[in-house]
Chain A
Amino acid sequence: MDNPTAQQSPTYLEEFKRKGYSRKDFLKFCTLMAAYLGLENSTVGQVVQALTNKPRLPVIWLHFQECTCCSESFIRSSHPIVADVLLDQISLDYSETLMAASGHQAEEAMKNTMTKYKGEYILCVEGSVPTAADGVYCMIGGKTSMQILEEAAEGAKAIIAWGSCASNGCVQAAKPNPTSATPIHKLLKGKPVIKVPGCPPIGEVMAGVIVHVVTFGRLPELDGLGRPKAFYSKRVHDTCYRRPYYDAGLYVESFDDENAKKGYCLYKVGCKGPSTYNACGITKWNNGVSFPIQSGHGCFGCSEENYWDNGRIYERASAFPGFGIEATADKVGKVALAVTGAALAAHAIMTNVRKKKLIKNLEEEGKQSEQQLKK
């Protein structure tokens, strides 16, 4: 394989044309991306300009402890150009799953990009980094994922954490986390990381983040947890089409009941929509066909930190720490209340025994006063 970095001079538009897309398709794509990014109508021109004039950004896409569902989601984003752009045209210089090269060639491609485009390439990371046992749980080409990440992050223009693994550890980091799987922002101290959580994140959201970086040359606006505000500022609950049932107080009680058929709110069967920040309710999945709640299943909360340990899938309440997985706060609370009640009853009895004299004196005193009043 030739050095792929040599192909990076053409702009996005040139590449689209080469691929056989018309200018109309290109404009459609730009409009779509601007809409996903939540940009004003007037900024569509800016997106068009950027993609017309700017050379394609070299991208290094690293895979560590992950299942590749992020890549799957990415290459299946609804608009054909999205897939093409992101696959062929952002010049994926290195991606274990998708590149043609392998072995030494692949390693060299990465090295070339890193030196030739120092400070210009985008580093995308899919998967968490195991730090236990000096990182031996995930090694590629004789290097640990930690080493690879550090080297690649050095000269990156922007670092994107694809999916929940890279953003917050996901399932590998769930208890007991045997490999000490760590999200990348904890390893790359002082480097801004765009977190795009989700298991997987929505393909259009991933494309949108890249287009934003290409168009504006800087990171999109991020929230307190480092996620792009354009996609993660609203709860799934706030954009859910079943929300009116929630406010009305009409809930599915079990998955096979009448309420489920009527399409009531899935709150009581454990939907995590009210605590999950994602764009599923608006952008949806598979070309806007559906999303979990629309298919009758509650939200998992897959884009939330530690969702494997924090919540139960089919219940609202989760386990109260230290009392076993069956004990919810309400169960523990009821027992604590019963114990408190019993302790207070015992205390009341003891009071009457131990402080008998004191209480009797008080009573006598009161009785005497009462006697005196009679006179």
Chain B
Amino acid sequence: MANVNSPKLRRVYVWEQPVRIYHWLNALVILVLIATGFFIADPLTIQSSREAGDQFTMGWVRTIHFIASYIFFFNFLFRIYWGFVGNKYANWKQFIPTSRHFFREMWQVFKMDILMLRGKEHMSVGHNAMAGIIYFFTFLAFLLQCLTGFGLYASMSTGWWFPSLFSWVSAMFGGDIFLRQVHHWTMWFFILFAVIHVYLIFYHDYVEGRGEISSMGGGWKFIEDDVFDKHMELPNEPPKS
């Protein structure tokens, strides 16, 4: 028996499987990179009775860091590619403002979610414009972290041609001493981002009840029938998300 107050929800497939895999792989390697990165910057004191020659602690931590950084880099490249071939919620236009609508929505989000004022109730199906532009900044941070990281890695790697593509970075930053500081500073952006990101996911799930948290699991979000219809009414407009 339907209730008047209960709106019907419609299921929308927002995050495709490649996007979800990208997201969780990214989350995992970033955690690994931060943990190993902290260790590399300031290693723990090891008390061991084993011979030095039998130990390889820093060596392993660095190996893990490097493996994770390769995954991070190619995962990032894949996400950029997916921004051109994926669905509209994954499209690059979600991140880079190309219309006035984008800025209007950013203002709305700022009003509603930060100043806690009244605003238009529902604006986006994917992530909102404010989140989009912040993700764009994180992509820039990804880029900076890849450049500085592989720039530091270039001179210690003699394995194959790929790391040497980054050997110009060190010269651009005027040497490794400064370069590694920049690499360390940028890591803090990742940490702060992760904390705020997780909080906001809970926040949106809590005040909107549209399945924000689980959407990165199954890919679905749930929107009210009338909102769905409103989006449907304007077939010529770019996706309002």
Contacts and interface: CB of A to CB of B under 8 A. Distances in A.
B177 A249 contact: no
A29 interface: no
Contacts of B208: 362
A69 interface: no
B3 A344 contact: no
Contact of A344 (B46, B58, B199): B199
Interface string B201-213: 0010011110000
Contact of B53 (A244, A332, A366, A375): A244
A118 interface: no
Interface stretch (A18-26, A57-65, A200-208, A271-279): A271-279
A235 B156 contact: yes
Contacts of B56: 247-249
Contacts of B174: 168, 225, 305-306
A304 B195 CA distance: 36
Contacts of A250: 46, 52, 55
B-side interface size class: 35 or more
A350 B192 contact: no
A301 B178 CA distance: 11
Contacts of B81: none
Nearest to A253: B45
Nearest to A341: B195
B64 to A, nearest CB: 13
A137 interface: no
A147 interface: no
A362 B185 CA distance: 41
Contacts of B46: 249-250
Nearest to B196: A340
B203 to A, nearest CB: 6
Contacts of A372: 1, 3
Q: Say what secondary structure dominates the interface of chain A.
A: helix
B41 interface: yes
A311 interface: yes
Interface string A325-345: 000011011001100110010
Interface stretch (B23-31, B71-79, B165-173, B214-222): B165-173
Q: Which of B52, B59, B156 has the most CB of A within 10 A?
A: B52
B188 A336 contact: yes
Contacts of B129: none
Contacts of B177: 272, 275-276, 301, 304-307, 310-311, 318
B223 to A, nearest CB: 14
Interface in B127-157: 155-156
Contacts of B105: none
A186 interface: no
A336 B46 CA distance: 30
Contacts of B43: 249, 251, 267-268
Contacts of B168: 224
Contacts of A238: 156
Contacts of A341: 195
A329 B185 CA distance: 6
B179 interface: yes
A108 to B, nearest CB: 40
A355 to B, nearest CB: 5
A355 B156 contact: no
B175 interface: yes
Nearest to A328: B184
Contact of B192 (A272, A306, A340): A340
A247 B185 contact: no
Contacts of A365: 3, 5-7, 209
B5 A337 contact: no
B55 A306 contact: no
20 contacts: A168-B174, A238-B156, A245-B52, A248-B52, A249-B55, A249-B59, A250-B46, A253-B45, A268-B42, A276-B177, A277-B155, A305-B178, A311-B177, A329-B185, A333-B188, A351-B116, A351-B203, A365-B3, A365-B5, A365-B6
